[in-house]
Amino acid sequence: MTIGFIYPDHAAEDDYPRAASTLGVELRVAHIYGTDLHAVPELRELGSPAKLRRGAELLRPFAPDAVVWACTSGSFVYGPDGAREQVRGLATAAGVPASSTSFAFVNAARALAVDTVAVVASYPDEVAALFTDFLAAEGIRVVSGTSAGIDTAAAVGTLTPDQVRNLVLANDCPDAAALLVPDTAMHTLEVLPELEAALGKPVLTANQVTIWEGLRLAGVPGAPTGKLGKLFSDRCIHASA
C-alpha cells in the first residue's frame, strides 16, 4: 500500500518520512506551489482544482491507494461544503479515495470520541476563526482558541521544537478534551509524545492527522505506536480501518 500526499511548497514535509519510518508504510509526498501567505484569497487559490489536479498527476507514477490534500487552511477556507467538493474533485482526479487535513481533524476527533477542543493555530485571527467555524459545522465545539498570527507557512516551518512546545503548552484549556494544532507547515511529530504526557490529553496536529487519514482511507490499520500520539493507539488504529 502507498499513500500519497499533496503538500504545499516546503516547510515541515520531513514529518512524513519520519512517520513512514515509524509506521513501516510507504508515504509519498508531491509538492505544489503558490504563495504561502496565510490570507483567505491566497489560500483559496492554493487549494484550487487546478493545483490539486497537478498534485494528483505528480503522484500517479507511485500508484497511491489514497490521496490526501495535506493542507488545513487550504481546505477549511472553502467552508464544509466547499471542502467536500474539493475532496470529491481530488478523488476524481486521482482515481482513488481522497480527503484533506481539515476532514482528517474531524475524523480523528470522532475516532477519539472528542467533541470539545482547544485550538492553537499558527494563523492570523481571521484565518483561525474559519477553522473554528469549520469544526463547529462538523459538531466539534471549540472551547478555547489561540492565534499566533504568523503570516506565512515558511515562517511556521522555522519554529523550533522548543517554540512549538511552548506555544502548545501555554495555550491549553482544562475544559477541552483534546488540543488541536492546525498547519501542516509546523513540525510537530518530534514533540507529540511529550506534549500529550504534559497535558494528559490527546494532541492532534496537522501532519499527524493527515497521515492517519491516509491510512484510514486506504484501509491500512498500521501498527499501534506511542511515537505518534494517542491517535495511533490500538483503539484508534482499529477505528480508522
Let me know whether 189 and 226 are in one domain: no
Q: What is the pTM of this model?
A: 0.95
18 and 99 within one domain: yes
Q: How far is the C-alpha of 182 from the C-alpha of 35, rounded, in Å?
A: 18
Identify whether residues 200 and 122 lie together within a single domain.
yes
Does residue 100 share a domain with residue 6? yes
How far is Cα 159 from Cα 153, in angstroms, rounded to an integer?
A: 10
| 23, 222 contact by CB (below 8 A) | yes
Sequential pLDDT tens for the chain (241 residues): 899 999 999 999 999 999 999 998 999 999 999 988 999 999 999 999 999 999 999 999 999 999 999 999 999 999 999 999 999 999 999 999 999 999 999 999 999 999 999 999 999 999 999 999 999 999 999 999 999 999 999 999 999 999 999 999 999 999 999 999 999 999 999 999 999 999 999 999 999 999 999 999 998 765 567 789 999 985 565 455 4
The count of structural domains within the chain is 2
Contact by Cβ (8 Å): 34, 9? yes
- Residue 154: give its domain's CATH number: 3.40.50.12500
In this structure, are 120 and 185 located in the same domain? yes
CATH number at residue 33: 3.40.50.10660
Could you tell me the residue range of the domain that residue 144 belongs to?
111-204
pLDDT at 227: 86
